[in-house]
């Protein structure tokens, strides 16, 4: 998809605040600092529509982005950030679960993992949660440019094994630096939009 228009339309904490449209929605989930904002910015050819931050735990709401008046990206709070209180984390968890299990417009979840490291317990839980609720999932392994090309297969195997990845799901190696995986990500998204 060639994106010319993209804007953040609402930061929501409860279903009453979700946009009242029938547009398809693609949610993005991942650990704090996995590169979600950079992923969004790369896909929509913008430098800073989604605010990137070196401070993890920045997103604390469901941020709805309207893309080309055709779909919404929904950026969900990053998980696994230690400096957030347990109560706060439980609140985020509840908000994410409510959205993902009840939102009819949700077509798929992009689960972002860091290719450089074995998936965390939270990464695995997120993937298993999506499988349990039968929510289509696209796994995007970020920061591929930080690993020598010759080691990609090894790292991909580590990630897939830890997640108990199912071959029917999409797995995309991605780099916001080199734009690698951008077209594959759009193809996976468009496949699930309708």
Tell me whether residue 4 is exposed, middle or buried, using C-beta atoms within 10 angstroms of its C-beta: 0 to 12, 13 to 18, 19 or more: exposed
Nearest Cα to 49, choosing from 31, 32, 30, 68? 68
Q: What confidence score (pLDDT) does residue 52 get? A: 53
Per CATH, the architecture of 6-193 is what? 3-Layer(aba) Sandwich (3.40)
The count of other CB atoms within 10 Å of the CB of residue 102 is: 10
Our CA angle for 72, 181, 55, nearest 5°, is: 65
| Rounded Cα distance, 96 and 130, in Å | 11
CA 2 to chain centre: 19
pTM greater than the 0.85 cutoff: yes
- Render each residue's pLDDT in the chain as its tens digit; 194 residues: 888 788 989 999 889 999 999 999 999 999 888 888 899 989 988 776 665 545 554 557 899 999 999 999 999 887 765 556 777 777 777 888 999 999 999 999 999 999 999 999 999 999 999 999 999 999 999 999 999 999 999 999 999 999 999 999 999 999 999 999 999 999 999 999 87
Backbone phi and psi for residue 13, each to the nearest 5 degrees, phi listed first: -120, -10
């Amino acid at each position: 998809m060639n994106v010319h228009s993209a804007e953040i339309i609402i930061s929501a904490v409860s279903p009453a605040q979700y946009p009242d449209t029938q547009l398809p929605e693609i949610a993005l989930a991942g650990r704090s600092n996995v590169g979600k904002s950079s992923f969004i910015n790369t896909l929509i050819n913008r430098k800073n529509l989604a605010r990137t931050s070196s401070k993890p735990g920045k997103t604390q709401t469901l941020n709805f982005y309207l893309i080309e008046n055709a779909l919404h990206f929904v950026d969900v709070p990053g998980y696994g950030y230690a400096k957030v209180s347990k109560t706060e984390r439980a609140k985020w968890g509840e908000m994410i679960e409510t959205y993902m299990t009840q939102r009819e417009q949700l077509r798929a979840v992009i689960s972002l993992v860091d290719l450089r490291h074995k998936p965390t317990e939270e990464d695995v839980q997120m993937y298993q949660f999506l499988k349990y609720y039968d929510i289509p999932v696209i796994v995007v392994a970020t920061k591929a440019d930080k690993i020598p090309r010759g080691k990609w297969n090894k790292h991909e195997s580590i990630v897939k094994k830890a997640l108990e990845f199912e071959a029917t799901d999409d797995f995309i190696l991605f780099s916001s630096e080199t734009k690698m995986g951008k077209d594959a990500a759009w193809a996976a998204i468009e496949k699930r939009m309708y």
